[in-house]
Structure 1
């Protein structure tokens, strides 16, 4: 094997490793299920806020619980590096 071929193969191997690392990083950073959950929670909160009356305090409790769920979802996404 010629020195030039060895250098070429080393460069190709290094480039492949970088590309694979980038793909793995993107796969772990992309969180479509968490994003969908966050969208659904934000939509649910909006509906709760627009609902008529407080329903004996349950509507307010549901809004607070939804706020907590939104915060936890965002924290999970941040933890995963998103």
Structure 2
């Protein structure tokens, strides 16, 4: 198995998830969509960073995951 395989799977999931949210929430959320895209890019960069930096990298990924979830929830709320 290639060492980049897990990152490719994660990045693919992020892209698919982002597209699903964008399609269901409508295009009238450009700022939230831009924020979501930036958060997903930041998560991909954090995943690529090695080593764990004394636990800070892992905590940063958790914070970004929480921010992604909140952003998606905000988009969904506005779409109701």
What's the TM-score once normalised by structure 1's chain length?
A: 0.64
Specify every segment of 5 or more residues in structure 1 that has no aligned partner in the other structure, as ranges.
Answer: 1-27
Specify every segment of 5 or more residues in structure 2 that has no aligned partner in the other structure, as ranges.
Answer: 1-25
Q: Quick one: which of 28, 31, 37 aligns to 2:29?
A: 31
Bigger Rg, which one: 1
Give the total of aligned pairs: 55
Write out the 4+ residue segments of structure 1 that deviate beyond 3 Å after TM superposition.
none
Shift of 1:52: 1.1
Shift of 1:72: 0.1
What's the TM-score once normalised by structure 2's chain length?
A: 0.65
- Equivalent residue number for residue 75 of structure 2: 77
